[in-house]
Structure 1
Amino acid sequence: MIQIHDRRASIMDKVMARVEIDEETGCWEWTGPTSGDGRGGGYPRMSLDGQTVAVHRVVYTNVHGYIPSKKQIDHGCNNRRCVNPAHLEMMSHLKNQRLRAARARGASA
């Protein structure tokens, strides 16, 4: 039987095999498949136990623990391909929407 620690290490090895670290930003850039180019696209995806999963959520769970069903994971770096757990924060949908809007206003200013 695989112990939890061994499973977590195995998952992180699988993730890191497809990551390039940006020394300037600290982002762990996912180089594997994503959720596509449409609205809400560009988020890293991987296969885990036969299921397609969001890599940033897998990394967050592996490092920080359980994500309640109504919570979202925000990329503080504003880089959807980043899977650095230090750049990921759990928050409500409303807070995530407010941050997204604030970032969009900042980008257009």
Structure 2
Amino acid sequence: MPERLAEVKAYATVTDSGCWEWPKLDRKGYPRNITLATASEPAHRAVLTAVLGRPLGAEAAHHTCANRACVNPDHLQPVTAAENTAEMLERRAYRARIAELERKLADLAS
């Protein structure tokens, strides 16, 4: 399977942050389907399935990098749907708070 992952990496664009961004995305920004093992599934799920050596089933392929287009196996982990949603909501709250503080800081600087 390492050679297949090398093919995936070669097809992707590697970013400065180490993400392997898949060039073909669906309308929500997730990688389109590929077949690595036996089933055709979204590229990020296919990569994680191949690395784990088992199907994900109901588990989500969580992007620890928060980049939906990423297929780097080091940036993916299996989680429950509830865990995936909770992390996303927490990240959104942090980003909103950071944006609010940056606005306040800009106001103080002007």
Which TM bucket (shorter chain)?
A: 0.7 to 0.9
- Aligned letter for 2:20? W
Which residue pairs with 1:55 in the alignment?
43
After TM superposition, the score normalised by the length of structure 1 is: 0.75
Q: Return the offset for 1:9.
A: 4.8
Distance 1:26 1:107 in 2: 21
* C-alpha contact 1:45 1:52 (8 A) present in aligned 2: no
Q: Deviations over 1:13-65 (max 9, x none)?
A: 54234211113x1111112x2121xxxx110113438x752000111111122
Q: In the alignment, which of 1, 19, 32 is matched to residue 45 of structure 1?
A: 32
After TM superposition, the score normalised by the length of structure 2 is: 0.74
Residue 22, structure 1, aligned to residue 15, structure 2: yes
Residue 34, structure 1, aligned to residue 25, structure 2: yes
Unaligned regions of 5+ residues in structure 2, if any? 98-110
Q: In the alignment, which of 66, 88, 97 is matched to residue 78 of structure 1?
A: 66
- Structure index of larger Rg: 2
Distance 2:19 2:9 in 1: 12
Using the TM superposition, name which of 66-75 and 90-99 deviates more.
66-75
Q: CA RMSD in A?
A: 2.0
Unaligned regions of 5+ residues in structure 1, if any? 1-7
More strand by share: 1
Q: How many residues are paired up?
A: 95
Distance 2:56 2:46 in 1: 13
- Aligned letter for 1:27? C
Q: In the alignment, which of 16, 36, 54 is matched to residue 66 of structure 1?
A: 54
More helix by share: 2
* C-alpha contact 1:67 1:90 (8 A) present in aligned 2: no
